[in-house]
Every structure is written in structure tokens, then in C-alpha cells.
Structure 1
């Protein structure tokens, strides 16, 4: 039998060219997913390294409490109504700038020296910023706290600074501390900044507890 087109019987050729397989996407999806997962994992590790210590400190210091002992070294707590009113006034001013869960205003006296102390507790993620806000409250419009210097924070750690501010044309030494569980600020009359730093350390160790 002869093919009508002249070819051998039973042999036919399709003139249509075979369809080409669809081109593969240029994006290696699996590889992309692997890279994305690796980047995400690295981000978690980096975040843990950077923020992990802060989270642990905040957690470990979340049980901080403030006490008001009647005596701290040579200082004696003034429980008179006038002293309470003055301390509460400053406490309210600081509490309005620094978010605190609990706060206390205390006045301690030693001879001619008055120490007005405001301290409070909270979960504090940025102690430096909280201390800066607290110190800004106790100054007036004549230059803020000047000559501010870091001082030894003692066994409780965190940050502690002391300087000088002017109130009613009189210089007062100012010291403050902040950690991940508390903030405290004290103003000292008739006492140098150096002596105030030592007194502040004594007061802090007596009133702050974890």
C-alpha cells in the first residue's frame, strides 16, 4: 500500500512542531525560602544577644521595693507634716515625668543638711532616659543640673549621677540613680556634690530592696 503523499505505508509525519516545555521561573523558590529562614533565624539570634541581657535585668529587678527606714547612717527621717508635704510635692512632679508603679517622697535630716529623696519602682527599659527625665524635674529655668557626673552606683548597679542645680538662687547638690527596677532622685542642702554622692549611696542602699 502506498501512502498518498508518496511515503511508505503507515508512516506519517506531523508537520506541527512539538510544544516546548514552559520556561522555568528564574526565582529558585526553595533556595529563596532557605535564605529567608536563615536570615530570620539570624535576626532572632542577634535580637537575643542585644536585648536578652536587658530583658533578664528587667525580669530580675521586677520585684524591687522601696522602704523608708527611720534612720540611715547619721540621717533621720523627718515625719512632720511640712516635710511630708514638701516631699510629696516633688514626688508628684517626678511621677508626672517618669512612669512609676509606686513612688515615695521622703525627707532625711542630718544637722544642717536636708536630703529630699524621691524614689519609685517600675519596669524600666531605658534607665538613662528615665534618670534624665527625673533630674530635669528638680531643676528650674536657670540652666538645669550642671556638672553632672557618673558616680559609683554601689552593689545595686545601674546608673548613678550627681551634679548641682540652682533653686531660689541657692545651689543644691543633686544625685539620682536608675536601674531596670527603680528610679531615685535626691536634693541635698549644705553639702558638696562629692559628699552628696556618698550620702546618696547610703540612702539608696537603705531604701531600695530586691
Structure 2
């Protein structure tokens, strides 16, 4: 005698996998609603790149953070929540222009970034150093000593290194173009392999 099929309570049946397109539409509505209500202070997105996934975060002032995977994106977002605002939402549409310009840079078709920047995470001497870095042309480098002299503090070589190591906007603000006096790389937030890749990309153009 064949046993009857078991009766499965529909409430206990596994749910069907959600439709990704539907989730995207719902998230877009959430994003738009948060922006309209003025409850979105930091928009973020993660984009792929030849140097790994990059976290991009922006306020209404402009791009405030670029982070490599090695920095731990969750930790970076938590720090932004503490230092800027806890009202953070993944909002790819707000970062679309930054993603486009980064894609062009990595493709070798863009040499300068034209993005509004929110520099609130850097102050004092460190801010002076970071404001100087975009003046180092694409494919060129300067030593830490040259940067120190350029910002009016020729003895502050070590402080220049610290400013570069804590740059909240790597790649976009090109701290990778700063080397030791002997030509060696020095430290870099993304690691020496990433610094080598960026310098090689620019040298090949």
C-alpha cells in the first residue's frame, strides 16, 4: 500500500527567491523617499575596479570617502556614521557620476577627476597636503620632501607621509603619486601592489 503524500502546511513551505528586479525597484523607491524626506545624509555604493571593490560614499557636499576592500567597508561605514551622520543608505544613483569617472580613469581615458569633494574628514596640515596632491600631474610624482616644501613646511616630511596614509579619498586625490626621496614607494592605504598598479597605469598612458 502506497503511503499518502505528506501534507505540507503552506505557511511552512520555503519562500520563493525574491525577484532581483523587484528588489531593485523597491530599493530605488526607498532611496528616492529618503532623499525627498531629507533623511539621507550619506549615500554609498560599491563598484568593481582593477584594484578590487571600492566603497564610494558621498554627502550633499560631494564625495567624502573612497575605501579599498582591505580597509573593511563595514568598518568604514561605521566610522562615517560616527563622524558624519548615521543616516546612511546604499544609493547607487547618487554615486553614478563618480563610478563613471573612475571607470574612465582605470580605462586610461581620464587623467583628472571633476567631482565635488567633501573634505570634512581632513583638517589643518593634512588638509593642506591633500589639497596640493591634485596639482601633481597625471603620470608625474613628487617626493614627500617636495610636497612638504610645496605646502610651506619643508621640515614636515613625516607629517606629509601621515597625511597621505590617512587620505580619505585615495585614487581621486592622488596620494599614490608621492614617493620617498630615493624613489621607493613608501606606505599606501591600498597596499604597495595597488600603488604600483596606479603608477604603472599612469606611466603607460
Q: TM-score range by the shorter chain?
A: under 0.3
Q: TM-score, normalised by structure 1?
A: 0.25
- Which structure is higher in strand share? 1
Which structure has the larger Rg over C-alpha atoms? 1
Calculate the TM-score normalised by the size of structure 2. 0.26
